[in-house]
Amino acid sequence: MFEHLDAVVPDPILGLMAAFRADPDPRKVDLGIGVYRDEQGHTPVLEAVRAAESALLASQTTKSYVGPAGNPGFNQSMEQLVLGAAHPALTDRRVRSVQTPGGCGALRLGAELIRAASPDAVVHVSTPTWANHTPLLAGSGLRLERYPYFDPATGGVQFAAMMTALERLSPGAVVLLHASCHNPTGADLSQGEWRDLLTLVKRRGLTPFIDMAYQGLGEGMDEDAFGLRLFCAELPEVLCAVSCSKNFGLYRERTGSLHLISSSSAAADAAFSQLVRIARGIWSMPPDHGAAIVQAILAEEKLRRQWASEVEAMRRRIEELRLEVVQRLRRHCPQHDFGFIARQRGMFSFFGIDTAQVHALRERHHVYMTDDSRMNIAGLRHENLEYFARAVAEVLAVRITEDHSGTMTR
């Protein structure tokens, strides 16, 4: 049965993670996979997580199933974290939530719900978008199309072109939006642009599907949820896929949630029963541990404060690195303007070099970023900023060409 299957090309992000791990050079710099790193290059277990986890291990009395919608306490805490405690969609009882295996599980579950409700719906994603959006969403059978988003000339959003493209969509079209810290570009919508987009989405009858994987790592916990909260307050239907991987550092615990905002409480109940059915048919019930940790942190004032200050420290470190890397690059590559890095938010920036230059950085200098030149700013350290900037200067100074086999000549 399986003999005729061809080997697939590895996922661009996970393939790079494996290549980085296999590189023995001590100077290597990992700007690939989107995980936060501290000044020592570690992805630490947060102190608040450690404390919640120890308390949990001591008090847990069973490993029995949690149920297909997951832990109700976690779901409720996430609703409040994501939407804000007094959000009108919550007071109107229009929100239903399901705990999912990571933000990926939430994206797939949302896509399956859209497919069940409207099999011919098309999901419109930004150009570019996170590489895994395509398999996660298209895997449900939905068709994907693209709208303009990133402007390489400014490092910002091509907002006029985006609006023109969305204006042409038919009612019922789904628009996938990044709440903040756009992956892979770091270019976000301003609050004014979210408001203008809301007007368009209302007028055209579009359905927003909002992916929020970096709450707290862009401008702040409330600021990063601005567009999501606005849309959920003003629109009859919104889907929100949320990840706890980055802001709780729970990557491998696969912790996330899907929040569905419906037009009425009755419609929300029916859609929720569909979500439960779909979840039961895919993963049956989500893993418990990460969600139990998040619930414990959000429920206890002291732990919550500790967690918020740890997220704030991560955010500030990234912001500081953004400013410093721009300064170093200015010194070593004065003919290039990398100022956009300081204006972008979250873990990623699109560096704007070509694939041959990305490969040269990797092969000659052991600096790893994805082929499209997405770099994880949090992978830099103060001690290797100089090394990184010199490596970039060297690569930009020579013309590199690659033949079809990937062999470089300069």
Residues that are catalytic: 130, 211, 213, 246
- Does the footprint of ligand LMR cover residue 346 (CB under 6 A)? no
In the bound state with ligand LMR, the residue whose beta carbon lies nearer, of 16 and 238, is: 16
DSSP secondary structure letters along 137-193:
HHTTT-EEEEEE-EETTTTEE-HHHHHHHHHTSPTT-EEEEESSS-TTT-----HHH
CB of residue 213 vs ligand LMR: minimum separation in angstroms? 6
In the bound state with ligand LMR, the residue whose beta carbon lies nearer, of 16 and 292, is: 16
In the bound state with ligand LMR, the residue whose beta carbon lies nearer, of 34 and 155, is: 34
Two tokens, residue 385: 């900023």
Please report, as residue ranges, which positions from 71 to 130 form the binding site for ligand LMR (by CB under 6 A): 130
- Does the footprint of ligand LMR cover residue 186 (CB under 6 A)? no
Binding-site member from 140, 158, 183, 295 for ligand LMR (CB under 6 A):
183
Q: Report the half-sphere exposure of 311 (CA within 13 A, side-chain side).
A: 26
CB of residue 91 vs ligand LMR: minimum separation in angstroms? 33
Two tokens, residue 58: 């001591």
Q: Report the half-sphere exposure of 399 (CA within 13 A, side-chain side).
A: 0
In the bound state with ligand LMR, the residue whose beta carbon lies nearer, of 237 and 253, is: 253
Q: How many whole angstroms separate alpha carbon 209 and alpha carbon 228?
A: 10
- Does the footprint of ligand LMR cover residue 13 (CB under 6 A)? yes
CB of residue 178 vs ligand LMR: minimum separation in angstroms? 11
Closest CA to 256 of 98, 57, 110: 98
CB of residue 8 vs ligand LMR: minimum separation in angstroms? 16
- Does the footprint of ligand LMR cover residue 287 (CB under 6 A)? no
Please report, as residue ranges, which positions from 132 to 171 form the binding site for ligand LMR (by CB under 6 A): 132
Closest CA to 128 of 104, 160, 105, 162: 162
In the bound state with ligand LMR, the residue whose beta carbon lies nearer, of 33 and 225, is: 33
In sign, the C-alpha dihedral spanning 15, 16, 19, 20 is negative
Q: How many whole angstroms separate alpha carbon 92 and alpha carbon 98?
A: 18
Binding-site member from 29, 34, 113, 201 for ligand LMR (CB under 6 A):
34
The H or E element containing residue 125 is strand 122-127
Total of chain residues touching ligand LMR, rule CB under 6 A: 6
* Binding stretches for ligand LMR (CB under 6 A): 13, 33-34, 130, 132, 183
